[in-house]
Structure 1
Amino acid sequence: MKDPLNWELEDFNARTEEGKDISLTDLKGEVWIADFIFTNCATVCLPMTANMTRLQGMLKEKGLDVEIVSFSVDPSVDTPEKLKEYVMKFNGELTNWQLLTGYSQEFIEEYALKNFKTIVKKPGTDNQVIHGTSFYLIDKEGIVVKDYDGITVPYDDIIRDINILTK
């Protein structure tokens, strides 16, 4: 694995698509992939979510035990139910995919910038949230070790890197 990012994540408190509370502590000891999406997205979230669903299937096929965590960048709109319904349209399996909401817009904008070095910004006059399109690989200690393009996804690279982290 080359060019590690090594960004240590700060804790967060969120609610999953099942309405359960979750924090970074719940993910410690797991290798996971994170991204930022929202259900009203008219552009990049559609291919990103389709790509994440494809990645999920590839990981399952390879027997890799990896969590997927999608942070909503529009938490005032994205209820747990809306997030669950959204991912089900893509045939995503929720056994290892957590869809997070239940925090403020200010929180997710600051958290994304500080912890993932990516922009999240909801303009006051638009329902489209500006956000990055990367997939992030997080190790068992809660360190962001690598990021990947979430639109033209390098699936083989992600699987290779996950293999290294899960050994």
Structure 2
Amino acid sequence: MKKKLIGLFGILILSVVLSACSNYKFKADTEYVIEDFTVTNHKGEEVSLDTFKGKPWLAMFIFTNCTTICQPMTFNMTEIQAALKERGVEDYNIVGFSVDPANDTPEVLSGYLSHFTLTDESKWNLVTGYDQKWIEQFALNSFKSLVKMPTEGDQVIHGSSFYLVDENGVAVKSYAGSEDVPVDTIAIDIETLIEERLGK
């Protein structure tokens, strides 16, 4: 009798968990319309906002000479990509905007990215090809995020958030990107967004 009760209890818990998963609905927290842009990725290719429309994408702000959060952020993004692969999610992109475009050429960005183990590099676009003033204004206008070149030193001030941009070019959620990153939540959000809005 005791074994039967334990078995029934286990089934009940499992059904509650499965029900919670199937009832999960994507809920946007932000509504930041991304300004149009045309930039150059780490492969030397020209990409624009239109390039990424039709699929959700994850955005971040980094630079290769960063001595603090940028490498951990990039590593955390690789963990998110691994989680997406585990869930069978393929229709997405990752866009990393350099906040130090004068130094971060496509070749430098490509070398930086080569130090990380990527599940699928074709999804990645580390981008440059603009001036400092542009990226500072773009980050503020499109993501409500601060980017600032200091008057002394070479460590650009920038945020550590990851942003989920939907298929229409609207940033709908932001997450911690350097510490306590909700890797599974981000993967589930992207998967749910694709299923709900794109019917895939």
Q: Smaller-chain TM-score range? A: over 0.9
Question: Equivalent residue for 1:114?
Answer: 141
Distance in 2 (CA, whole Å) between partners of 1:46 and 1:10 is 26
1:73 aligns with 2:94: no
* Correspondences of 1:81-92 after superposition (within 5 Å): 81-92=107-118
TM-score by length of 1: 0.96
> Do the aligned partners of 2:80 and 2:184 also contact (CA within 8 Å) in 1?
no
Q: Secondary structure at the match of 1:26?
A: helix
Question: Equivalent residue for 2:15?
Answer: none
Cα deviation for residue 115 of structure 1 reads 0.5
1:48 aligns with 2:76: no
Cα deviation for residue 76 of structure 1 reads 0.2
Larger radius of gyration: 2
Unaligned ranges ≥5, structure 2:
1-25, 196-200
Give the aligned CA root-mean-square deviation in angstroms.
1.1
Cα deviation for residue 2 of structure 1 reads 3.7
Q: Deviations over 1:113-151 (max 9, x none)?
A: 110011000113211000000000011000100000001
Question: Equivalent residue for 1:164?
Answer: 192
Cα deviation for residue 3 of structure 1 reads 5.0
Structure 1 stretches of 4+ moved >3 Å: none
> Do the aligned partners of 2:106 and 2:128 also contact (CA within 8 Å) in 1?
yes
Question: Equivalent residue for 1:33?
Answer: 58
Deviates more, 1:22-31 or 1:87-96: 87-96
Higher helix share: 2
Cα deviation for residue 95 of structure 1 reads 1.0
TM-score by length of 2: 0.81
Unaligned ranges ≥5, structure 1:
none
Q: Percent identity?
A: 49
Distance in 2 (CA, whole Å) between partners of 1:132 and 1:156 is 21
Question: Which letter maps to 2:109?
Answer: L
